Amino acid sequence: MTVKKTTQRQGFKTNEFIVYPAHGVGQIVAIEEQEVAGARLELFVINFVKDKMTLRVPTAKVASVGMRKLAETPLIKRALETLKGRARIKRTMWSRRAQEYEAKINSGDIVAIAEVVRDLYRSETQPEQSYSERQLYEAALDRLSREISAVQRITETEAIKEIEAALAKGPRRGPKPEADEEAVVAEEAA
Consecutive 10-residue averages of pLDDT for the chain (190 residues): 51 91 93 90 92 92 91 95 91 94 95 96 87 96 95 95 93 53 42
pLDDT of the residue at 189: 45
Q: What is the pLDDT of residue 173?
A: 53
Tell me the whole-structure pTM to 2 decimals. Answer: 0.82
Give the Cα separation of 59 and 14 in Å (integer): 12
What pLDDT score was predicted for residue 28?
94
Q: Which domains does the chain have, with CATH numbers?
A: 2-69 (2.40.10.170), 73-168 (1.20.58.1290)
**10: Cβ contacts below 8 Å, ≥ 6 apart:** 59, 62, 63
The helix (run of H) or strand (run of E) holding residue 109 is: none
